[in-house]
Amino acid sequence: MSHQVYINGAFVDAEHAVISVWDHGFLYGDGVFEGIRAYHGRVFRLDQHLSRLYTSAHSIHLEIPVPFDEVRDAVLESCRRNEIADGYVRLVVSRGKGDLGLDPRKCSTPSVVIIASGISLYPEEKYRDGLRLIVSSVQRTPPQCLDSRIKSLNYLNNILARIEANTTNADEAVMLSTSGHVTECTAENIFTVSNGVIRTPAPFVGILEGVTRGAVIEVARKKGLVVEETTLTSHDLFVADEVFLTGTGAELIPVVTVSGRKVGTGKPGPVFQQLLSDFRALTRAEGTPIQTVPSVF
């Protein structure tokens, strides 16, 4: 079966899925997106992802031309058509076709694209043995310039930090704020564990509040663990008992070194292991069923 991609209200074969070269998403990174996971035949926290998509779009004065419920149905249909029970959905809304000028008023109708497929950000051994991080020299774009809660198509800031990680043979890069506080990695949120207390950068530092981040905070607090949303520095990463990352693509993954310094014992720690088990149980217990929702397409 050919891979099916949703574009502007219709499903087409992937090889025929095209966007105009005049689209301002392509020309200027003008748009928003969501990465969504399916587990065990259910889409995890679909409405939460869609709410963030519509909020991001509203913030940049981009009106999504498809109602919320129709986008929701299209995500589920994308999974059905591509036989996705466990996989990844990329939902993109761009400003649409315009001209070579910057003015968004020249764009007639936003483009809506949904791709349902698989994803593997890290090889399996990294989940067992842990990641090697660096603290990047590339600083996170401050929220005074671009609000970090907007999940926009422009990821060049993150990509530059990712390139720095690649050139140093690290697995990921931590990005600091202009004031020297830890924000996030190029594609994940970050947590530390010290003396049994879990800490993660607070939203005001300039982070994207990840859906997986929120789920992990929930399961940790239900276990009676203390979770603090606070400010962290590189020093806090260096001296932590445990460090781990969370993200839709990566899920939960442990960190064993930061800029050459061993984290804790140098192996994934017990708090991480417990939270990973609890998160996986959560993904088995909740989500929007893919197959039982009737198709409208």
Q: Which of 163, 132, 141, 259 is nearest to 207 (CA)?
A: 141
Tokens of 226: 């203390």
Q: Do residues 109 and 186 both lie within one domain? A: no
Is residue 67 assigned to a domain? yes
Is residue 294 assigned to a domain? no
On whether the CB atoms of residues 275 and 219 are closer than 8 A, the answer is yes
Q: Which of 246, 137, 138, 144 is nearest to 204 (CA)?
A: 144
What radius of gyration, in Å, describes the C-alpha atoms of the chain?
20
Q: Which of 101, 118, 135 is the last residue of a domain?
A: 118
* Cα distance between residue 189 and residue 151, in whole Å: 14
On whether the CB atoms of residues 127 and 171 are closer than 8 A, the answer is no
Is residue 213 assigned to a domain? yes
Question: Do the bridges between strand 242-247 and strand 189-194 make them parallel or antiparallel, or are there none, so unpaired?
Answer: antiparallel
Q: Do residues 44 and 141 both lie within one domain? A: no
Q: Do residues 146 and 241 both lie within one domain? A: yes
Which residues are within 8 A (CB) of 47 and not within 5 positions of it... i.e. 6 or more apart?
Answer: 72, 288
CB atoms within 10 A of CB 177: 20
On whether the CB atoms of residues 247 and 184 are closer than 8 A, the answer is no
Phi, psi of 166 (to 5 degrees): -60, -45
pLDDT of residue 192: 98
Can you give the residue range of the structural domain that contains 252?
Answer: 124-283
Q: Which of 118, 145, 161 is the last residue of a domain?
A: 118
Q: Which residues of the chain have pLDDT under 70?
A: 1, 293-294
Q: Which of 86, 118, 150 is the last residue of a domain?
A: 118
CATH number of residue 137's parent domain: 3.20.10.10
Q: Do residues 92 and 178 both lie within one domain? A: no
pLDDT of residue 182: 98
Which residues are within 8 A (CB) of 231 and not within 5 positions of it... i.e. 6 or more apart?
Answer: 181, 182, 201, 202, 205
Q: Do residues 25 and 55 both lie within one domain? A: yes
Structural domain count of the chain: 2
Q: Do residues 133 and 20 both lie within one domain? A: no
Q: Which of 153, 156, 146, 71 is nearest to 114 (CA)?
A: 71
Question: Do the bridges between strand 197-201 and strand 42-43 make them parallel or antiparallel, or are there none, so unpaired?
Answer: unpaired
On whether the CB atoms of residues 53 and 34 are closer than 8 A, the answer is yes
pTM, to two decimals = 0.95
pLDDT of residue 1: 60
pLDDT of residue 95: 98
In the three-class reduction of DSSP (H, G, I as helix; E, B as strand; rest coil), residue 203 is classed as helix
Is residue 12 assigned to a domain? yes
Paired residues of 182 in beta bridges: 176
On whether the CB atoms of residues 35 and 249 are closer than 8 A, the answer is yes
